[in-house]
Amino acid sequence: MRNIDSKIFDFNDLKEILSKKKNEKVVFTNGCFDILHRGHVSYLQNARGLGDFLIVGVNSDRSVSRLKGPTRPIQNEDDRLFILAGLECVDAVVLFEEDTPIHLIEHLLPNILVKGGDYVIEEIVGYEVVMKNGGLVTTLPFVEGKSTSNIVKKMK
């Protein structure tokens, strides 16, 4: 089993790692992953099953606040990175500051880009980049009733 810290990368280090994975299918997904729950884990396991190496882009704290409001994130970015890196199905995690991972996708050029089932494939950020590079863009279904929003509501 790999050390958790060995799965947390900055952008430049991750790009170097990927240069050595030319014969592997690299899968990329992203999100806030504020309160990790069963739906997240199921989704990430399924995403990993699409290829050989799963990269998870994680929104920074500032990005999550812009997207979800001033009371979020509930867990800080370091904790969210660590928890995701602790999952066996995740090969690499990388933080990004922007509201979307477009710059990561443009530079990493994954073979497969995946998001949750509530997305229209052609509207997924990075769709054109991945398709132009000969890759695949797909969605995976959610686990019914499992969401961070539901957990936050329950806590209130």
Q: How confident is the model at residue 99 (pLDDT cuts 50, 70, 90)?
A: very high
Q: How confident is the model at residue 37 (pLDDT cuts 50, 70, 90)?
A: confident
**What pLDDT sits at residue 29?**
98
In terms of Cβ atoms closer than 10 Å to its own Cβ (0-12, 13-18, 19+), residue 54 is buried
**What pLDDT sits at residue 156?**
67
In terms of pLDDT, which residue wins out, 15 or 46? 46
Kindly tell me if the per-residue pLDDT of 1 is higher than 70.
no
**What pLDDT sits at residue 30?**
97
- By DSSP bridging, strand 112-116 and strand 26-31 are parallel
What's the pTM value of the predicted model, to 2 decimals? 0.91
* All domains in the chain, ordered by first residue: 4-155 (3.40.50.620)
